Amino acid sequence: MSTRWGMTVPLGGVPLTDHAEVFAALTDAGFTDLWSSEVAGTDAFTPLTLAAAWQPRARLGTAIAPVFTRGPGLLAMTAAALAEAAPGRFQLGIGASSPVVVGDWNAADFTKPFARSRDMLRFLRAALAGELVDEEFETFRVRRFRLERPPATPPGLLLAALRPGMLRLAAAEADGVILNWLAATDVSRALSEAKSDRPGFDVVARIFVCPTQDAAYARTIGRRMIAAYLTVPAYAEFHRWLGREEGLGAMWAAWAAGDRRGALAAIPDEVVDELIVHGSPEECRDHVANYAEAGVKVPVMALVPTPELEKADPATRTQLLKRLGRA
C-alpha cells in the first residue's frame, strides 16, 4: 500500500490567496503530496511555490509541465527555483501535453512529441545537475547553457506516459512515470511496459474524484470529461491499447461524425464508473486505494466540482478533505 497520498492543487473555486488554509487542511488529513496541473487554469509552478512557503511538510510535484510551451532553459530555471524553495521536496513531472494546449493556445508546433519529451528529459537531467549544456538534440539546439543557481538537491524527473514507447522511455531514463486517465484495473497493463530498475522509481497516477452520492450527477460530469479528453488522438489510442474499443467505439464514431450529443449518450455507465471515482468521500478514498494496491506509489486525487463542494464553506471543505485523507 502506498505511503504517499496526493491531491491536485489548487482546488477549484478557492482563490490562491486562501490556499494556506487548504494546504494545512490537506496535510492534517494525511495528504503527503500536492501536485499541480497545467492546462488553462493556473500555471504548474505558482501554486506549488505558495505551498513550498506555506506548508513545509508537503512534497510537491508538477503533473505536468508541457515540454513544448517553455524553452529548455526557462523550464530548467523554473524547476531549479522551486527545487531551491523546497529542497528535497519537489519532483518535476513533464509531458508532451496535447495539440490544443501546445498549438492552439501557446502558438508552438506540436511535432515529434516522443522525441521532444526524450530530449527535454535529457537536457533537464544535465542542466539541473549544474552541468554546461552545449548540444544538438533532435528537436532543439542548446548553446552553452549553465544554470547560475543549480539546486543543491536536483528534483526527480518524472515523465507522463500513455502507450508503450513513452512508458518504456520513462522506465529507462526518468525517475518515475505519471499515469493519467486510467482505471485501477489498467495499472498493471501500463506498468508491464514501465519496468524500471532505477532506485526509488516512482509511479504517480492522477485520478479524477467526484465526491458525491448523486450517481446521475457524477456520470453526467464524467461523460463530459471523457468526451473532451478521450477523443484526443493520443488518449483514444491509449484506450484502444487498454482494450476499450467496445466500450468507447460508439463515442468515437459519433464524435468523428460531429454528433456531440450522440457521443455523450454513447458512453456506458460502466466506463464512466471505471474512470471517474464517485460516491461518498469514504467510498472514493477506498476506490483510490485500489490504485495503490495495483502498484501506484503516489495516487493523486483531482477533485471534480460537485454541488456540495461549490457551496462548501471552509469548515465543510476541511471536513470533506479529512474524509478523503488517510490521517
**Grid cell at residue 36:** 499541480
Average of per-residue pLDDT values in the chain: 96
pLDDT surpassing 70 at residue 203: yes
pLDDT surpassing 80 at residue 2: no
Full DSSP string of 154-175:
PPEEEEE--SHHHHHHHHHHSS
Tell me the pTM.
0.96
Q: Name the amino acid, one letter, at 48.
A: L
CA dist 115 and 166 (Å) reads 10
Tens digits of per-residue pLDDT, 133-162? 999 999 999 999 999 999 999 999 999 999
Mean pLDDT of 290-315: 92
Mean pLDDT of 66-91: 98
Predicted confidence at residue 307, as pLDDT, reads: 83
What whole-number percentage of the chain has pLDDT above 90? 95
Predicted confidence at residue 312, as pLDDT, reads: 82
Mean pLDDT of 159-188: 98
CA dist 289 and 184 (Å) reads 9
* Dihedral in degrees, nearest 10, Cα atoms 35, 41, 42, 43: 80
Predicted confidence at residue 1, as pLDDT, reads: 54
Name the pLDDT band for 93 (thresholds 50, 70, 90).
Answer: very high
* Dihedral in degrees, nearest 10, Cα atoms 260, 63, 162, 104: 50
With contact defined as beta carbons under 8 Å apart, do 85 and 56 qualify?
A: no
Predicted confidence at residue 327, as pLDDT, reads: 78
Mean pLDDT of 42-66: 97
Predicted confidence at residue 54, as pLDDT, reads: 98
Predicted confidence at residue 273, as pLDDT, reads: 98
Tens digits of per-residue pLDDT, 207-243? 999 999 999 999 999 999 999 999 999 999 999 999 9
Name the pLDDT band for 309 (thresholds 50, 70, 90).
Answer: confident
Residues in the chain: 327
pLDDT surpassing 80 at residue 259: yes
